Amino acid sequence: MAILVVAEHDQHKLRPATLCVVTAAMRIGGEITLLVAGKDCSAVAQAAARVPGVKRVLHADAPHYEHGLAEDLAPLIVRAAASMTHVLAPATTFGKNVLPRVAALLDVAQISDVMRVESADTFVRPIYAGNALATVQSSDAIKVLTVRATGFDAAPDAGGNAAVEALEAAPPSGLSTFERQELTKSERPELTAAKIIVSGGRGVGSAENFKIIDALADRLGAAVGASRAAVDAGFVPNDYQVGQTGKIVAPDLYIAIGISGAIQHLAGMKDSKVIVAINKDPEAPIFEVADYGLVADLFQAVPELTAALDKPA
């Protein structure tokens, strides 16, 4: 087995999801090569070389790799994949954008959002918003997979000593150019990697009211999430959305506040270790998956909860 892992990074650091993909690669078993493509990103290549279990790092550096454009990255990955049996990337917006393009260029199927490795050719993935788990077997020569980060522990980021090799860049595709980005700035932990998440839904009522969610999150050192209803109503930015089409999270503690618990939201959080629901409707479906439920008005219960946390055990 020869496994290529496409690293996701921000030109300075590996994204945590990449380390989860390395663990998935180790479950498959075989020689692991990490591909780091970007602009002035040798620090990332060096960091990748320190991940235990990684045998080799391929480092491609060119200005047109800076923003992870699929049109430029896909041909590079295809070239690196020629001698591989598997190509893996995290099932983030980065991996979901680039990898299907790679699979089609290789004329192979792609397996999305793999949450379990059964063997080198057999994988488990969720379908129908996580309401069924499909075990699929690939007959393709090269298996192309995106990996659900919450399904695998992160590999350590130190202790390894892989060789770094330069990979020649391909010329720019000229098909697409990056214009600008508007990233949400936050001091809080990243949603997909947070140990605790406090999420608000339609019941919170307004962007202003989200402050009580923020206050609870800050008290817990938690990330803030949201349901689609809260995003569509403009209470919070879209990248807060947890669910089938937003982010998939599995923290130790997920606190759902004013969220009814539609199928599409549950798909994004039902693998959390402990789920707490605060909702004034005792019939809300969220209570069917919650370990602890509090039927109460959130405007009273959430500040009380924040206050109760300050009292010693």
Partner 1 sequence: MKIIVAVKRVVDYNVKVRVKSDGTGVETANVKMSMNPFDEIALEEALRMKEAGIATEILAVSCGTAACQETLRTALAFGADRAILAESNTELQPLAVAKLLAAIVKKEAPGMVILGKQAIDDDCNQTGQMLAALLGWPQGAFASKLAHEGGKLAVTREVDGGLETLRLSMPAVVTADLRLNEPRYVTLPNIMKAKKKPLDVLKPDALGVDVAPRLATLKVDEPPTRKAGIKVPDAKTLVDKLRNEAKVIS
Applying the rule CB under 8 A, the residues between 97 and 116 that interact with partner 1 are 97-105, 107-113
- Work out how close the CB of 187 gets to partner 1 at its nearest, in angstroms, rounded to a whole number: 14
Residue 209 binding partner 1, by CB under 8 A: no
Quick check: helix, strand or coil at residue 241? strand
The binder of partner 1 chosen from 13, 206, 237, 281 (CB under 8 A): 237
List binders of partner 1 among 149-188 (CB under 8 A).
173-184
List binders of partner 1 among 255-284 (CB under 8 A).
263-264, 270, 273-276
The binder of partner 1 chosen from 31, 66, 71, 157 (CB under 8 A): 71
Q: Please say whether the beta carbons of 22 and 152 come within 8 A.
A: no
How many angstroms separate the Cα of 180 from the Cα of each of 96, 177, 284?
20, 10, 41
Q: Are strands 54-61 and 116-117 parallel, antiparallel or unpaired?
A: unpaired
Per rule CB under 8 A, count of chain residues that contact partner 1: 92
Please provide residue 104's backbone torsions phi and psi, each rounded to the nearest 5 degrees.
-65, -40
- Work out how close the CB of 17 gets to partner 1 at its nearest, in angstroms, rounded to a whole number: 9
The binder of partner 1 chosen from 65, 244, 269, 284 (CB under 8 A): 244
Q: Please say whether the beta carbons of 268 and 113 come within 8 A.
A: no
- Work out how close the CB of 166 gets to partner 1 at its nearest, in angstroms, rounded to a whole number: 26
Q: Please say whether the beta carbons of 293 and 216 come within 8 A.
A: no
Residue pointed to by tokens 């098909």? 175
Q: Which residue, 50 or 219, has its beta carbon nearer to partner 1?
A: 219
